[in-house]
Amino acid sequence: MNTWDAVVIGAGAAGLFCAGVAGQRGLRVLVLDHSPKVAEKIRISGGGRANFTNRDLDPRAPHKHFISENPHFCRSALSRYTPQDFTALLTQHGVPFHEKHKGQLFCDRSADDLIQVLLRECEAGGVTRWQPCGVHAVHHHDGAPHAYSLDTDQGTVHTHAVVVATGGLSIPAIGATDFGHRLARQFDLPIVDPRPGLVPLTFDATAWAPWAELSGLALPVLIETGEKKQRTTFAEDLLFTHRGLSGPGVLQISSYWHAGTDIRVQLAPEQDWLPALSEAKQRSRKLLANELAQWLPSRLADTWAQQDPAWQRPICDVPDKALHRLAEQLSAWRVQPNGTEGYKKAEVTLGGVDTQALSSQTMESRQSGLYFIGEVVDVTGWLGGYNFQWAWASAHACGQALKKSL
Measured CA to CA in angstroms, residue 22 lies from 43, 161, 204, 242 at distances of 23, 12, 50, 47
Return the CATH number at 239: 2.40.30.10
**Contact, 220 vs 269, CB < 8 A?**
yes
- Residue 286, pLDDT > 90, answer yes
Q: How confident is the model at residue 26 (pLDDT cuts 50, 70, 90)?
A: very high
Cα angle 217, 219, 224 (rounded to 5 degrees) comes to 115
pLDDT attached to residue 143: 87
Q: Do 191 and 205 fall within a single domain?
A: no
pLDDT attached to residue 145: 84
Structural domain that includes position 334:
201-340
pLDDT attached to residue 229: 85
- Residue 116, pLDDT > 80, answer yes
Q: What is the pLDDT of residues 361-393, one digit of tens each?
A: 999 999 999 999 999 999 999 999 999 999 999
pLDDT attached to residue 144: 87
- Residue 250, pLDDT > 90, answer yes
Q: How confident is the model at residue 230 (pLDDT cuts 50, 70, 90)?
A: confident
- Residue 1, pLDDT > 80, answer no
pLDDT attached to residue 44: 95
Cα angle 46, 234, 268 (rounded to 5 degrees) comes to 105
Q: Do 101 and 207 fall within a single domain?
A: no
Picking from 304, 320, 340, the residue at the C-terminal end of a domain is 340
Q: Do 150 and 277 fall within a single domain?
A: no
What one-character DSSP code corresponds to residue 403? H
**Sequence-separated (6 or more) residues with CB below 8 Å from residue 157:** 2, 3, 4, 7, 30, 149, 150
Return the CATH number at 365: 3.50.50.60
Q: Do 324 and 353 fall within a single domain?
A: no
Q: What is the pLDDT of residues 144-183, one digit of tens each?
A: 889 999 999 999 999 999 999 999 999 999 999 999 999 9
Q: Do 350 and 307 fall within a single domain?
A: no
Which uninterrupted H or E stretch holds 88? helix 83-92
Q: Do 223 and 264 fall within a single domain?
A: yes
Q: What is the mean pLDDT of residues 277-296?
A: 96
How many domains are contained in the chain? 2
Average pLDDT of the chain to the nearest whole number: 97
Picking from 340, 355, 390, the residue at the C-terminal end of a domain is 340
What one-character DSSP code corresponds to residue 382? P
Among 20, 34, 25, CA closest to 136: 34
28 residue type, one letter? R
Q: Do 45 and 170 fall within a single domain?
A: yes
Q: How confident is the model at residue 86 (pLDDT cuts 50, 70, 90)?
A: very high
**Contact, 393 vs 14, CB < 8 A?**
no
Q: Do 113 and 164 fall within a single domain?
A: yes
Picking from 320, 340, 360, the residue at the C-terminal end of a domain is 340
Q: Do 39 and 175 fall within a single domain?
A: yes
Q: Do 26 and 155 fall within a single domain?
A: yes
- Global pTM reads 0.96
Q: Do 8 and 91 fall within a single domain?
A: yes
Distance from C-alpha of 382 to C-alpha of 71, rounded to nearest angstrom: 12
Q: What is the mean pLDDT of residues 323-348?
A: 97
- Residue 128, pLDDT > 90, answer yes
Q: What is the mean pLDDT of residues 15-24?
A: 98
pLDDT attached to residue 63: 83
Q: Do 10 and 116 fall within a single domain?
A: yes
